[in-house]
Amino acid sequence: MKYRNMLIDDYDKVYALWLGTKGMGLNDVDDSREGIERYLRRNPSTCFVCEDNDEIIGVILCGNDGRRGYIHHTAVKENRRRQGIGGELVRLAMEALGKEKISKCALVVFERNDIGNGFWEAKGFTERDDLVYRNMALKELKRIDT
């Protein structure tokens, strides 16, 4: 098993992992090959995959805006969970953000995603009840349910 920075060449395997992970919240624009390529160009040192025998079994997309870090689409193959893979991906991403002088990191998890919420809480991410999350689509997005 090895951990390394994610490359756009990993896209097909990563996307297949996301499709097999419940609660991902994918869409056809941001999560397309082109969308992920843009993200990786902006964040080349903070996104990671875990590989085992040429299979990608874990991924974390992490980036920053120069001020705050943000985590998106973290997944570990279901039959490989509880082996420390997700925790190591988070550790690598937090270490990479630290090297970029980022002091705080945020993420969004669907309320109904009990497994994801439990994972992030165990990693020290606290729930904020003093915020209202808002967004606005600048173009029509097709949701891809997982």
What is the average per-residue pLDDT within 116-136?
A: 91
Nearest to 14 by CA among 29, 33, 1: 33
Predicted pLDDT at 80: 96
Class level of CATH domain 2-144: alpha beta
Nearest to 107 by CA among 120, 95, 119: 120
Strands 55-64 and 48-52: antiparallel
Q: What is the pTM of this model?
A: 0.93
Q: What is the pLDDT of residues 5-14, one digit of tens each?
A: 999 999 999 9
Distance CA 86, CA 13 (A): 17
pLDDT band at 74 (very low <50, low <70, confident <90, very high): very high
Computed over every residue of the chain, the mean pLDDT equals 94
pLDDT band at 24 (very low <50, low <70, confident <90, very high): confident
